[in-house]
Structure 1
């Protein structure tokens, strides 16, 4: 049976329902139960006596939403992910990857353009037709990550490189977007997802077939261990054989993720994109005003740049892996990590004008629970499965 094609309508937004600060009574009960089960299992430590919890509510809710607010199912996925992170030493991988190897890998997957959609989600673009299968194959090796490799599964060099990109999203991009105070629902919902434009306009069926493992790895990793980091996925330039391609892809995706895929017809591409992304944040190639093309470093949002001060004299953001850490006074400090010429890179680059706890352990403002301002239509939250 042929896979049902993705929708061409983009009017099924869920945000902010199901998000922190926008939970129904039954969803809040599911979150409380989820925490209780995790604490009993020893994979989560609640806050106590002024100490922060081991994981933020925003992170926990990613797993709950992915499992449709079924606490036991979410416990299973969360526990498996925690064990996976420990076994692969994910934090060490991110600190160890060579900067140049990271950049090589970044050019083979969705790239942050440096801007956000109307809700505040970071916008990523993936031009699949630009991928060279030989360059993809080259990521099967990594000098800097050799000590973490087993040669197969998620501990292969290829997957370890990919994991670093997901860590960059959750450790750098999402917290920065969360800290921006003028976005809709800034006081009641954290940014934990991304808006994606997938351009398949130059993709032939032979190349698509040769890249199937590359594409499958990314979707499988997201589904298993980085759930709910993807929001809407706009597919543009769909070729005549896209139904065949979709039949492959849909089998790799969790049904929740598959429901977020939308095909945009070329005749009204810009009109559809601009319903959800302001023109100044849409790359020129797609009818917008943003000076950004595939392979470029991010063209950073001026609103985000206003939030930071340089540690040194110049405001510059380095290439390679970066993440926010807690400074001596509780502030957020951007640290450039990874390795360069075999040596660890630990450079403090920026300071964010927000406290670490306020962003990484985001809590809804009690006086803003009815906050309005979403730039896109919403629907009821996902169904809740009782434990």
Structure 2
């Protein structure tokens, strides 16, 4: 997935807007200047202010030559990036910012080939793929016509032997001496109506659907059939057998009834959907560390009945998520998976291992090609050893979907695939949990990203052109920096207002800082981050202008 792909609007459900009613929707009367300087050796007086500030564009830093005709400044928000690195810098040239080189972690296995989703548009398929799709459609149509997809419900389990004996004893007739004979009632005859039964079978076949999509009713069927074909390397007969087995399993498992069943919310922190990636896929988080809670673990795996209930809940969660996808050709019909292995119980837990194996088997057999990417974060050493053992048995297609990262690279890795406003706070982003409340910002409010180099001070200047109320939130992933905020008025006789005194932030501090300020005169807000460490830091911030209220 391309890192530079713009974040589209969510395909499933529009993000709920948390904007307050007093927000001024007119162009914001501000501009933003991000200034970087060496925190120890360079002062502002030593660096000359360029006549024309460089304008930041996506993926590159461009400095406009003075000889060129400059376009008029935009009326809303101007984002200007100015880099000062030394006092001896005499001129500034036009250049493209270097893309950060991917850091290679020898301990983390990575696939040499990155998976790219194939198109589900028939016109984009190769000739052989189109032929296979057509053959599979024909097989499915023939099976529907001959009712080969109609399966009888499984027989009820036989009662225990003790229960049979007890039932027989209770139902045994009691013989009374000299009692008059009671004429036995004739057994009612069940009339057979083969024509009616055939009509019901035909009606059931006509209404046959998978994941809420009726088969062979529209072009969404092609998307479904392509999933089975790709899972079986476009071997038509194998794909047809897989479809038939899936339909049979869905009926035996009672999927359509399961979707509406109330199984509680005991595991809502174990598996949950949150946000979208940069290509519009909904993101599913699997948090294995939640099973360290003995109560949560016992409710899921303490006995066979609880394991069966957890499996039903997990399948219900997946089924509900899939039914929200867009199965039209060109739509988003896969899910981005994030697997958090922090504090995972590990392979020593036999009950968890058995349940995981059972769930994986069900998902592989009946939910093909629903994963766009599998990202494993906070990967422990034992999982790397486990993956090394099973890697030779995985197909290249499967391995190309896997991404592994250690604890120190979690946020950096997720930001390659998701915008920070879509990433939950606990994983380095600025998106709060849906159960929490953030009245000022939502996932529809974009986040600016700035890399703070080692031993440098980064200043974000928000220039205010009229009276207003401004709110902002800011974080540096992992902190270990100092953060301060102040308002500097434009008037020479004005006084600087310290909004947030420069304070050292430790990794254990609150991950996100939120501030607000009522601007009664023209000036600028300065947000300063001082990074004294030898490591680069990722600064995330966003702000919003509201109408001025006395």
TM-score (norm 2): 0.42
CA distance in 2: counterparts of 1:220 and 1:18, whole angstroms: 25
In the alignment, which residue of structure 1 is the partner of 2:331? 190
CA distance in 2: counterparts of 1:15 and 1:227, whole angstroms: 14
Counterpart selection for 2:280 from 96, 120, 123: 120
Q: CA RMSD in A?
A: 4.0
Pick the structure with greater CA Rg.
Answer: 2
CA contact (8 A) 2:421 2:443 kept: no
The answer on 1:130 being equivalent to 2:290 is yes
The answer on 1:25 being equivalent to 2:177 is no
CA distance in 2: counterparts of 1:129 and 1:138, whole angstroms: 15
1:277/1:292 Cα in 2 relative to 1: closer, same or farther (>3 Å)?
same
In the alignment, which residue of structure 1 is the partner of 2:251? 86
CA distance in 1: counterparts of 2:374 and 2:222, whole angstroms: 25
In the alignment, which residue of structure 2 is the partner of 1:237? 378
The answer on 1:158 being equivalent to 2:158 is no
Deviation string 1:277-301 (CA, Å, 9 cap, x unpaired) is 11211122222221138x989x985
Deviation string 1:82-127 (CA, Å, 9 cap, x unpaired) is 01112222101222x22xx24224443x3101x1111111111112
CA distance in 2: counterparts of 1:199 and 1:215, whole angstroms: 15
CA contact (8 A) 1:140 1:157 kept: no
CA contact (8 A) 2:374 2:401 kept: yes
SS in 2 for 1:205: coil
CA distance in 1: counterparts of 2:444 and 2:412, whole angstroms: 24
CA distance in 1: counterparts of 2:357 and 2:394, whole angstroms: 9
Deviation at 1:256, TM superposition (A): 4.5
TM-score (norm 1): 0.58
CA distance in 1: counterparts of 2:344 and 2:217, whole angstroms: 47
Structure 2: tracts of 5 or more residues without a match? 1-106, 150-204, 209-215, 446-550
In the alignment, which residue of structure 2 is the partner of 1:103? 265
In the alignment, which residue of structure 2 is the partner of 1:344? none
CA distance in 1: counterparts of 2:442 and 2:125, whole angstroms: 32
CA distance in 2: counterparts of 1:246 and 1:274, whole angstroms: 24
Deviation at 1:246, TM superposition (A): 3.0
Higher relative contact order (CA 8 A, sep 6+): 1
CA distance in 2: counterparts of 1:248 and 1:107, whole angstroms: 30
In the alignment, which residue of structure 1 is the partner of 2:230? 65
Structure 1: tracts of 5 or more residues without a match? 142-150, 179-186, 304-387
Counterpart selection for 1:38 from 140, 159, 184: 140
SS in 1 for 2:273: strand
Pick the structure with more helix per residue: 1
1:158/1:292 Cα in 2 relative to 1: closer, same or farther (>3 Å)?
closer
CA distance in 1: counterparts of 2:110 and 2:283, whole angstroms: 19
CA distance in 2: counterparts of 1:133 and 1:244, whole angstroms: 26
1:119/1:125 Cα in 2 relative to 1: closer, same or farther (>3 Å)?
same
The answer on 1:263 being equivalent to 2:404 is yes
1:129/1:248 Cα in 2 relative to 1: closer, same or farther (>3 Å)?
farther
1:102/1:65 Cα in 2 relative to 1: closer, same or farther (>3 Å)?
farther
1:126/1:287 Cα in 2 relative to 1: closer, same or farther (>3 Å)?
same
CA distance in 1: counterparts of 2:121 and 2:297, whole angstroms: 36
CA distance in 2: counterparts of 1:254 and 1:93, whole angstroms: 32
In the alignment, which residue of structure 2 is the partner of 1:324? none
In the alignment, which residue of structure 1 is the partner of 2:361? 220
CA contact (8 A) 1:116 1:301 kept: no
CA distance in 2: counterparts of 1:277 and 1:193, whole angstroms: 15
Counterpart selection for 1:13 from 103, 109, 115: 115
Counterpart selection for 1:169 from 308, 315, 321: 321
CA distance in 2: counterparts of 1:167 and 1:126, whole angstroms: 16
SS in 2 for 1:228: coil
SS in 2 for 1:288: coil
CA distance in 1: counterparts of 2:350 and 2:309, whole angstroms: 22
CA distance in 2: counterparts of 1:283 and 1:20, whole angstroms: 37
SS in 2 for 1:235: strand
- Number of equivalences: 269
Q: Which runs of 4+ in 1 moved over 6 A?
A: 247-255
The answer on 1:75 being equivalent to 2:240 is yes
